[in-house]
């Protein structure tokens, strides 16, 4: 399955030692807050010898706006070099920040935040005045480096980190989405940040690193609660049954996984600067279930999966990640739980839960390090099939006997996630665990969406005529033709479900449709080739993938446009 989500401003890796610096402008003594129709808070978040990052929050007390422009001037030689959540330009000392297409609305009493990186020499004085659409604003003192530290915001973990919280909007993905025709309709949706290789921690190709994302999250947080969604995805011998999503670490490189990947991430997440964020980690997509379904004498087995089952490095790696990341009191670990079209069969269901328990009690981890599980990550399985149930029969044949269901016990992700949660509890996980379901690409709307059940002529016609999921087989996973955006991210949508989430950023490819040489460790998987006729893992069906796809994680405009066109619920 697809996977790259990485980072901006690689230079910010230089500021790790200066993190936590918080400078803010003081209000001029002759300006009263109540008399001014806007307030600006300007904070220097990080500062080093030649550069700095700053966060700006604007609160509008005047009439509601559909677009906005904030201006200020520097007294020194500061230069803005890049920014996020606003279009920022500079002429001499004068700086202008205007809204992006996705954050132009500014209601009365509403706030908007943006950030930037800059350079300077000598002193880095705070601007004395700001205007919002030409009106002078009050400048709020957000606290300086000599102010006493804020109270420790940490405490016991909440039952559901998504309850009562906003979720981080990745500015890199948001910019890609907003640049697409019609993309501004969803550019403000929260998506996962994929840490799919060691270099992603500090940022690749000039993109944002982990600290950059967390700094941007602090800007978005404001005074409320905010969830940041991280994908921990770099196991040794990763995704042993596929090629497009293979990783950089070989099957035996558990040591590098620990010291070069997990340890640096854990150190950043433990920084007190980020203690007020709720950090949700999605732990290692697509690997643990392979140990059940793609090993041994099964027709779907691969030599690579047999190696990983023998050396135990999937369980050890996941256990180490759970143990180290779970040490931070504001980190919520969710283990990947595959999807119904992978482990919904009797032979896979309970054994997969047992493997997950084995991983969760390896390398010093315990079940207390697991807050929950996530189903359908980066996959296409429909959330709820309303036109048939697993208990229906046609002509004396159960729905389970249809070619589509193929003796699976589940027809959709919601029923599977709720049942698998109970199986996990039975296996020994805490009864309070919650489930997440990735709904980023499982909407299956548009003209092909059935309005009702299929004909009762036979069980296959009944299922095929009524199912929303239009794939040729539930094993098809790469850039699927006809897919659409699913339910928008939301908390507490159903019993046992903590949230519907968009962990997979819509518009990012699952894998290249032909071989493309690269230095990202990504192979060519025929399941991404639209001419491929399949293998035992997809019932020897055609792949159903879109043509002309780029490498996994790279932007795929044609897919993004299809997802918007076929969205269900539809986009307005």
Residue 508 assigned to a binding site = yes
Crossing angle (nearest 10°) for helices 313-325 and 303-311? 60
518: which DSSP letter? -
Residue 510 token pair? 């699952």
Residue 506 token pair? 């819509």
Sign of CA dihedral 61, 62, 68, 74: negative
Q: How many beta carbons lie within 10 A of that of residue 181, not counting itself?
A: 9
User: Cα–Cα distance between 572 and 569 in angstroms, integer?
Assistant: 9
- Answer whether 305's CB lies under 8 Å from 291's CB: yes
Residue with structure tokens 């309303």?
386
User: Cα–Cα distance between 58 and 316 in angstroms, integer?
Assistant: 47
152 classed as catalytic: no
Residue 522 assigned to a binding site = no
Residue 404 assigned to a binding site = no
User: Cα–Cα distance between 28 and 26 in angstroms, integer?
Assistant: 6
User: Cα–Cα distance between 364 and 323 in angstroms, integer?
Assistant: 6
**Candidate list 239, 336, 412, 529, residue with the active-site label:** 239
Q: What share of the chain is helix, strand, coil (3-state, %, to 5)?
A: 25, 20, 55
User: Could you tell me where the beta strands, DSSP code E, fall in 329-433?
Assistant: 331-336, 372-375, 393-394, 397-398
Residue 196 assigned to a binding site = yes
Helix (H, G, I), strand (E, B) or coil at 77: coil
Sort residue 206 into left (φ over 0), alpha (ψ -120 to 50) or beta.
left
User: Could you tell me where the beta strands, DSSP code E, fall in 17-84?
Assistant: 23-24, 38-47, 51-60, 69-73, 79-84
**Candidate list 498, 510, 525, 529, residue with the active-site label:** 510
Sign of CA dihedral 206, 210, 216, 220: positive
CA gyration radius, the chain: 25
- Answer whether 86's CB lies under 8 Å from 99's CB: yes
Longest dimension (CA), the chain: 84
Residue with structure tokens 């482990």?
343
Environment class of 239 (CB within 10 Å of its CB; exposed 0-12, middle 13-18, buried 19+): buried
386: which DSSP letter? -
Residue 174 parent element (H or E): helix 171-179
| Binding-site residue set for substrate | 194, 196, 339, 342, 379, 477, 504, 508
| Binding-site residue set | 194, 196, 339, 342, 379, 477, 504, 508
Q: Annotated catalytic sites, by residue? A: 239, 286, 510
């Amino acid at each position: 399955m697809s996977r790259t989500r990485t980072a901006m401003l690689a230079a910010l890796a230089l500021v790790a030692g200066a993190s936590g610096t918080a400078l803010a402008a003081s209000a001029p003594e002759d300006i009263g807050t109540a008399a001014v129709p806007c307030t600006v808070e300007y904070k220097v978040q990080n500062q080093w010898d030649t550069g700095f990052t700053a966060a700006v929050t604007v609160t509008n007390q005047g009439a509601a706006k559909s677009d906005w422009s904030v201006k200020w001037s520097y007294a020194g030689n500061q230069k803005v070099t890049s920014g996020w959540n606003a279009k920022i330009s500079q002429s001499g000392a004068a700086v202008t920040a205007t809204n992006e297409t996705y954050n132009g609305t500014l209601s009365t009493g509403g706030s908007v935040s943006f950030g930037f990186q800059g350079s300077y020499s000598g002193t880095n004085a705070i601007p004395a005045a700001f205007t919002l659409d030409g009106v002078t604003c009050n400048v709020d003192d957000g606290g300086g480096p000599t102010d006493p530290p804020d109270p420790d915001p940490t405490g016991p973990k909440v039952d559901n980190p998504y309850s009562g919280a906003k979720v981080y909007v990745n500015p890199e993905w948001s910019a890609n989405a907003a640049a697409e025709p019609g993309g501004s309709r969803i550019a403000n949706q929260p998506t996962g940040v994929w840490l799919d290789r060691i270099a992603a921690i500090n940022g690749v190709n000039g993109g944002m690193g982990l600290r950059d994302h967390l700094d941007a999250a602090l800007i978005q947080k404001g005074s409320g609660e905010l969830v940041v969604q991280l994908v921990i995805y770099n196991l040794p011998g990763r995704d042993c049954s596929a090629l497009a999503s293979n990783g950089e670490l070989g099957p035996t490189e558990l040591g590098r996984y620990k010291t070069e990947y997990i340890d640096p991430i854990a150190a950043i997440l433990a920084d007190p600067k980020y203690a007020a964020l709720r950090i949700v980690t999605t732990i290692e997509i697509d690997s643990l279930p392979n140990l059940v379904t793609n090993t041994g004498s099964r027709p779907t087995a691969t030599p690579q999966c047999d190696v990983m089952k023998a050396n135990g490095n999937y369980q050890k790696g996941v256990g180490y990640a759970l143990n180290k990341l779970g040490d931070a009191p504001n980190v919520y670990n969710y283990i990947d739980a595959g999807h119904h079209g992978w482990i919904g069969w009797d032979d896979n269901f309970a054994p997969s839960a047992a493997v997950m328990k084995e991983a969760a009690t390896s390398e010093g981890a315990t079940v207390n390090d697991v807050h929950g599980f996530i189903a359908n990550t980066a996959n296409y399985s429909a959330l709820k099939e309303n036109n048939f149930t697993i208990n229906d029969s046609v002509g004396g044949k159960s729905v389970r006997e249809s070619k589509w269901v193929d003796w699976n016990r589940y027809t959709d992700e919601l029923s599977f996630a709720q049942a698998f949660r109970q199986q996990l509890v039975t296996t020994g996980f805490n009864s309070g665990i919650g489930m997440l379901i990735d709904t980023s690409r499982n909407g299956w709307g548009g003209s092909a969406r059935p309005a009702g059940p299929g004909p009762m002529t036979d069980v296959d016609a009944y299922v095929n005529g009524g199912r929303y999921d239009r794939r040729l087989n539930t094993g098809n996973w790469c850039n699927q033709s006809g897919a659409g955006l699913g339910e928008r991210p939301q908390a507490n949508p159903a019993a046992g479900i903590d949230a519907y989430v968009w962990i997979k950023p819509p518009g990012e490819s699952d894998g290249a449709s032909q071989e493309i040489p690269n230095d990202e460790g990504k192979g060519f998987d025929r399941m991404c080739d639209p001419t491929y006729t399949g293998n035992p893992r997809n019932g020897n069906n055609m792949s159903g993938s879109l043509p002309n796809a780029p490498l996994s994680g790279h932007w795929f405009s044609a897919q993004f446009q299809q997802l918007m066109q076929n969205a269900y619920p539809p986009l307005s």
